[in-house]
Structure 1
Amino acid sequence: MEKDTVNSNQASKQINRHLYSRRNLWSGILFGLGLIAFFDEVVFHQLLHWHHFYDLSTTSVGLISDGLFHAFSWFATIAGLFLFADLRRRNALWVTRWWGGVFLGAGVFQLYDGIIQHKVMRIHQIRYVENVIVYDIIWNLFAVALIIVGVILTFKTRRKETVGGTVSNDPS
């Protein structure tokens, strides 16, 4: 009887994981985006003083932009954690898929920042030095590495159609 309950709980968990598959991914994406934005803001803006979120105006405007950026990162992080808590409550947390989302969110934000904000919009550079290209390459390669890890983890959690039309689920 006890073994049937365990098997039933496992089956229920597998079903819930797939019902909430997108929510697992989005929870991770929001958390990863917020986490990397928070890290960027604290390390590069506050501790190292390399740049502000918006460097095309006065220092005061730059500090205000940093504050808004910081608030955005916290809202994304908290939203991701609220979704995470809801997934746990529903017994639908799919940790591998969630981590895939974390890496995807962090990597996509990092790449967006490195290409769009740094080079296209030019609202700030990573660092104002003569050989900024070295910083750009490292910044963007790190972003691509995060995205690759996220894609691999997410790919591992996809649904697999088998012969006969049934769906098999990855247990991780």
Structure 2
Amino acid sequence: MATRDQPGAPVPTEGADFPVAAGVLFGLGLGGFFDGIVLHQVLQWHHMLSSWYPITSIENLERNTLWDGIFHSATYVFVVIGLFVLWRRARGRHLRWSNRALIGSLLVGWGLFNLVEGLIDHHWLGVHHVNERVDRSYWLAWDLGFLAWGLAMLLGGLWLLRRGRGPAEAAPAAVRR
């Protein structure tokens, strides 16, 4: 086991910035989990390929369920990588844990998830739409609302990140050094 005097040992750094990449990865994963759990499973508004393979047969339901699982696996990988990045960055260091940076980076990741997933899956590929339970004439409105929600989260997250990287947030004097 390495000690602080050995090469390769973690070097403590005072006030190192919050690992934003970890927060963005967590946000991507949480956005995917929300989409998959709430929209796919609980509300059953759509499934991963439900525009291409409507849920009109057991075979199509099985195909969609498989692809929902693959989608959930990808979002799980984002969370695992985010945890790894956080662990590597925080291990042996003193980070400046900022609530604004954490929430901001989560919102950036979730907003990016909504924008990328919305643009690619809803608009470009058309594999599914946000709410396929409403009349088809409303699908575009739901898809645009999903994009607006993603953009709002992204912009709000960037704003919080900027504020979270400014002067130290109000903290007890014993914590500030």
For the aligned pair, the TM-score class normalised by the smaller chain equals 0.7 to 0.9
CA distance in 2, matches of 1:123, 1:64: 14
Query: Counterpart in 1 of 2:43?
Result: 48
Distance 2:32 2:96 in 1: 24
Give 1:134's aligned residue: 141
Residue 119 (structure 2) pairs with residue 122 (structure 1) = no
Q: Using the alignment, how far apart are the partners of 2:44 and 2:115 within structure 1? A: 21
Aligned position for 1:92: 95
Q: Residues 130-164 of structure 1: CA distance to partner in whole angstroms, max 9, x if unpaired?
A: 21233123212211110111110222355xxxxxx
Q: Which amino acid aligns with 1:156?
A: R
Amino acid at match of 1:51: H
Cα contact 1:32–1:104 (8 A) shared by 2: yes
Letter in 1 for 2:152: A
Tell me which moved more, 87-96 or 40-49.
Answer: 87-96
- In terms of fraction of residues, the more helix-rich structure is 1
Structure 1 letter corresponding to 2:14: K
With normalisation by structure 1, the TM-score equals 0.75
Q: What TM-score, normalized by structure 2, do the two folds share?
A: 0.73
Report if aligned partners of 1:107, 1:144 keep a CA contact under 8 Å in 2: yes
Matches within 5 A, 1:56-135: 56-57=52-53, 58-89=60-91, 90-95=93-98, 96-128=100-132, 129-130=134-135, 131-135=138-142
Gaps in structure 1 of 5+ consecutive residues:
1-10, 159-168
Structure 1 position 45, deviation (Å): 0.7
**Is residue 2:141 matched to residue 1:151?**
no
Q: Which amino acid aligns with 2:168?
A: P
Q: Output the amino acid matched with 2:139.
A: V
What is the identity percentage for the equivalent residue pairs of Structure 1 and Structure 2?
Answer: 29
| Residue of structure 1 equivalent to 2:25 | 30
Q: Which residue of 2 aligns with 1:163?
A: none
Mapped partners of 2:120, 2:114: distance in 1: 10
- Secondary structure of the residue aligned to 1:146 is helix
Say if 1:127 and 1:135, in contact at 8 Å, map to a contact too. yes
Q: Does structure 2 retain, via aligned residues, the 8 Å contact 1:27–1:98?
A: no
RMSD (CA atoms):
2.1
Which ranges of structure 2 fall in alignment gaps of 5 or more residues?
1-11, 54-59, 170-177
- Structure 2 partner of 1:7: none
Alignment coverage as a number of residue pairs? 146
